[in-house]
Amino acid sequence: MSKSTQFPRLEVRLLRDPVHFLAFGFGAGLVPRAPGTAGTLVAVPLIMFIGTLGFTAYVMATTLICLAGVYICDASAKKLGVHDHPGIVWDEIAGFAITMLAVPHTWQWLVTGFALFRLLDIVKPWPIREADHRLRGGLGIMLDDVMAGFFAAAILYALHRMI
């Protein structure tokens, strides 16, 4: 099931559950249109803050975000009874954190990374599309965004090296 599928708007009370609070990107996933984009926007200040701690801390935090995301997304999806509910946006936060691994966190690179990650996450070129369709559970929810993040990071890194 794709994230573009329309579901009834969830009530804010859903966010009282810590798993849903995280999975829904601190509430960003409740926006009625483009929740994935809203989830990625939530990631921007988080990425900027973690980036100030140094590269090693950034890699460790990104790894933790990704590993925790498998559990968070799986638990939220099971509680909701929907495989990949459009409001679950923790995977976008993780994917954008990966996207920004290889470039400085200046506003120019943040905007470029944001646009590139969203494009890859929405279009889902091969092999990202295969991961999205073949795997279930938390790993399935996370993997396509993690892959989009790595593809975007590689493209950004190449652009950064050329400039």
Mean pLDDT by 10 residues, the chain (163 residues): 47 87 96 95 97 97 98 96 92 98 96 98 91 84 96 98 93
88 sits in the region (left: phi over 0; alpha: psi -120 to 50; else beta) called: beta
Judge whether 39 and 25 are in contact, CB under 8 Å. yes
Helices (H), 24-136: 35-51, 55-80, 90-99, 107-123, 128-134
Q: What is the per-residue pLDDT for 2?
A: 46
Q: How far apart are CA 148 and CA 104, in angstroms?
A: 19
Q: According to the model, what pLDDT value does residue 136 have?
A: 83
Total-model pTM: 0.91
pLDDT of the residue at 4: 43
Residue 96, Cβ density class (10 Å: 0-12 exposed, 13-18 middle, ≥19 buried): buried
